């Protein structure tokens, strides 16, 4: 299908809910098809609750054959399909389509096998992230990517968003830890990306499907790489008198040739919120703290910790603590991973951003965010994957107060625009979804947007898989340009204009 045809089909024809339910119930058990308003409403949003939409129907397939049957029915009827994992996403990527089917993959939750010799695990998309490491632990192995939501988020969602975590600096994102993805096209065709071998024949499309936000295919099985559990892990907690000095210390650690297992940064407001919530032992007088972890053999860790201390002291750290045992190390990290729920205790609502910048500009960005907070009249807690420059500012607001949600969204948009200005990008691991469509216009050119659409069309010619997400249209970018004084976006006949 051409881009013009996609444009024509963007407004999907209305489908009778009763007819759709009848077709779906012939392929799935009765309890796996939800159509009444009370049953489908819990699926109206993901973790970004400011964007909500009730789907026409919700399906809960329990195997690949049922997923395939649902896709073929929807393709035949021209019904949009949005795949959903645990709903912990933070960009609106799993928000349903009002004329479509929301497909929950929660029942595809089986760990197919763990192969300790090949150091891989084959899992279905509904398996929780943490469950993989729990299953691999008896073999002395684990799965490295560890998003803060790892106790709940699923591997299918991790693949869709290319999730990271606090240890992604050394061990990489989902992309670097997945070897193979099995998926289905909108027509129900089985697709294989990658392999269990070190290489696979043909074009390398594995990196394309990881992070594609459910727009190209629906994942039904994933092969992940497992790593040996480190013999020792120790975490350094360092305090700084300014966020600028802490940002400089981050760059200093990397320039010293150290690649920590994890390196996280929190400002004073975030530290105070977390300490009150989980009592991690964080200092409350520091303007910023760094958590820097080393893992490996005892000898390597001892040498690396000594070098880390030396670098941090040279950059002005005035209080440095090293975890004395595993319990204290886990407590340090528990504080960082509790930043989001801690923010939820301080305000009725919070808005979590996800820009990425060059790590040498962390201090500059934090000062800019402080100025923005004054301008928009809202509080902001700052939490960073400091090692790779991934920002997670938490903007506090109350949607019940007139104008606050709008100011929060404008504040978030300003952070993303500034991330691009500093040489960064609008997303590090949360994805684009519906949240960052406007910000994408600030980062990508007309030609780049067209290439994105053409990739989408190559996989999903009808435009039925997760429509309206991740790629902004030129009409949207034109409006964005008017709002933000951008005049370089023009109409292009090759792109949808809906």
CATH of the domain at 88: 3.30.43.10
In a domain, 87, yes or no: yes
Please check whether residues 312 and 265 belong to one and the same domain. yes
Q: Are the C-beta atoms of residues 55 and 100 closer than 8 Å to each other? A: yes
Tokens representing residue 209 in the block: 């499907």
Closest CA to 431 of 241, 192, 164, 229: 164
Please name the helix (run of DSSP H) or strand (run of DSSP E) that holds residue 177, with its range, or none: none
246 vs 362: CA distance, rounded Å: 8
Burial class (CB within 10 angstroms; exposed 0-12, middle 13-18, buried 19+) of 240: buried
Q: Distance (Å, rounded) from C-alpha 346 to C-alpha 362?
A: 25
pLDDT of 12: 86
Report the candidate in 422, 266, 253, 381 with the shortest Cα–Cα distance to residue 332.
Answer: 266
Distance CA 75, CA 81 (A): 9
* Tokens coding 227: 């790593």
Side-chain-side CA neighbours of residue 343 (13 Å): 25
Residues 130, 77 share a domain: no
Pick from 228, 260, 295: which residue ends a domain? 228
Q: Within this chain, do residues 129 and 217 fall inside the same structural domain, yes or no?
A: yes
Q: 445, 437 in Cβ contact below 8 A?
A: no
In a domain, 437, yes or no: no
Q: Where do runs of H (alpha helix) occur along 264-360? A: 268-278, 298-314, 326-337, 339-344
425 φ, ψ to 5°?
-140, 165
Domain assignment present for 199:
yes
Contact status, residue 48 vs residue 90, Cβ threshold 8 Å: yes
Name every residue whose Cβ is closer than 8 Å to that of residue 366 and which is 6 or more positions away in sequence.
243, 244, 247, 267, 288, 382
Task: Please state whether 408 falls in left (phi above 0), alpha (psi between -120 and 50) or beta.
Answer: alpha
102-134 b/e with 16+ CB inside 10 Å = b? bbbbbebbebeebeeeebbbbbbbbbbbbbbbe
**Separation of alpha carbons 423 and 246, rounded Å:** 20
Do 214 and 321 reside in the same domain of the chain?
Answer: no
Residue by residue, DSSP assigns 400-415 as TSTTHHHHHHHHHHHH
In eight-state DSSP terms, residue 215 is S
Residue 495 placed within a domain: no
| 179 occurs within a structural domain | yes
pLDDT by residue for the chain (498 residues), tens digit each? Answer: 444 444 434 578 889 999 999 999 999 999 999 999 999 999 999 999 989 999 999 999 999 999 999 999 999 999 999 999 999 999 999 999 999 999 999 999 999 999 999 999 999 999 999 999 999 999 999 999 999 999 999 999 999 999 999 999 999 999 999 999 999 999 999 999 999 988 888 888 999 999 999 999 999 999 999 999 999 999 999 999 999 999 999 999 999 999 999 999 999 999 999 999 999 999 999 999 999 999 999 999 999 999 999 999 999 999 999 999 999 999 999 999 999 999 999 999 999 999 999 988 988 999 999 999 999 999 999 999 999 999 999 999 999 999 999 999 999 999 999 999 999 999 989 999 999 999 999 999 999 999 999 999 999 999 999 999 999 987 778 777 767 643 333 333 343 433
Same domain, 205 and 302: no
Same domain, 32 and 65: yes
Within a domain: residue 422?
no
Does one domain contain both 221 and 115?
yes
Q: Which of 198, 228, 258 is the last residue of a domain?
A: 228
Q: Indicate if 125 and 203 belong to the same structural domain.
A: yes
104, 135, 162 — which closes off a domain? Answer: 104
Residues 6+ apart with CB under 8 A from 203: none
The backbone region for 351, taken as left when phi is positive above 0, alpha when psi lies in -120 to 50, beta otherwise, is: beta
Domain count, the chain: 3
Same domain membership, residue 31 and residue 98: yes
> Would 384 be classed as within a structural domain?
no
Same domain, 247 and 334: yes
Please give the full DSSP string across 78-105, using - where no structure is assigned. Answer: T--EEEESSS--SSSTTPPPTTSEEEE-
* Residue 464, CA atoms < 13 Å, CB-side half-sphere: 27
CATH number at residue 223: 3.30.465.10
Q: Is residue 440 part of a domain?
A: no
CATH number, domain with residue 306: 3.30.70.2190
Cα dihedral 274→150→295→134 (10° resolution): 130
Name, in order, each residue with C-beta under 8 angstroms of 36's C-beta and a sequence gap of 6 or more: none
Pairing of strands 57-59, 101-104: parallel
pTM: 0.92
* Domain region containing 127: 111-228
CA proximity to 382, closest of 425, 339, 349: 339
């Amino acid at each position: 299908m051409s881009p013009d045809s996609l444009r024509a089909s963007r407004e999907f024809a209305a489908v009778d809910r009763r007819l759709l339910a009848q077709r779906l119930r012939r392929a799935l058990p009765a309890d796996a098809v939800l159509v009444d308003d009370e049953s489908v409403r819990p699926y109206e949003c993901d973790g970004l609750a400011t964007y909500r939409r009730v789907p026409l129907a919700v399906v809960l397939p329990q195997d690949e054959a049922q997923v395939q049957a649902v896709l073929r029915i929807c393709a035949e009827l021209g019904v949009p399909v949005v795949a959903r994992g645990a709903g912990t996403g933070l960009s609106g990527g799993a928000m349903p389509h009002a004329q479509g089917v929301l497909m929950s993959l929660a029942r595809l939750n089986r760990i197919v096998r763990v192969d300790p010799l090949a150091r891989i695990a084959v899992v279905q998309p509904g398996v929780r992230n943490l469950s993989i490491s729990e299953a691999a632990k008896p073999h002395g192995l684990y799965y490295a990517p560890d998003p803060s939501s790892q106790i709940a988020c699923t591997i299918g969602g991790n693949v869709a968003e290319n999730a990271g975590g606090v240890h992604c600096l050394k061990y990489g994102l989902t992309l670097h830890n997945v070897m193979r993805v099995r998926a289905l096209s909108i027509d129900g065709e089985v697709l294989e990306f990658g392999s269990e071998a070190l290489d696979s024949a043909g074009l390398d499309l594995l990196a394309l499907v990881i992070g594609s936000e459910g727009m190209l295919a629906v994942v039904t099985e994933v092969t992940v790489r497992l790593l040996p559990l480190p013999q020792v892990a120790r975490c350094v907690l360092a305090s700084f008198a300014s966020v600028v000095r802490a940002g400089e210390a981050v760059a200093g650690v990397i320039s010293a040739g150290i690649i920590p297992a994890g390196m996280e940064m929190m400002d004073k407001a975030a530290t105070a919120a977390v300490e009150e919530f989980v009592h991690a032992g964080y200092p409350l007088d520091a303007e910023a703290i760094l958590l820097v972890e080393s893992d490996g053999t005892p000898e390597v860790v001892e040498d690396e910790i000594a070098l880390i201390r030396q670098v941090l002291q040279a950059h002005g750290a005035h209080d440095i603590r090293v975890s004395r045992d595993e319990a204290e190390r886990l407590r340090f990290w528990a504080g960082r991973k509790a930043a989001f729920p801690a923010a939820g205790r301080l305000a009725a609502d919070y808005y979590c951003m996800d820009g990425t910048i060059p790590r040498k500009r962390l201090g500059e960005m934090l000062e800019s965010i402080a100025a923005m907070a004054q301008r928009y009249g809202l509080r902001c807690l700052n939490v960073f994957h400091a090692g790779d420059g991934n920002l997670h500012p938490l903007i506090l607001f109350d949607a019940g107060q007139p104008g606050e949600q709008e100011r929060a969204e404008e504040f978030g948009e300003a952070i993303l625009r500034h991330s691009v200005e500093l040489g960064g990008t609008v997303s590090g691991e949360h994805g684009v979804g519906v949240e960052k469509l406007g910000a994408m216009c600030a980062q990508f050119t007309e030609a780049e947007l067209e290439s994105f659409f053409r990739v989408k069309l190559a996989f999903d010619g009808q435009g039925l898989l997760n429509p309206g997400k991740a790629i902004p249209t030129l009409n949207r970018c034109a409006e964005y340009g008017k709002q933000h004084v951008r005049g370089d976006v023009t109409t292009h006949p090759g792109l949808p204009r809906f």
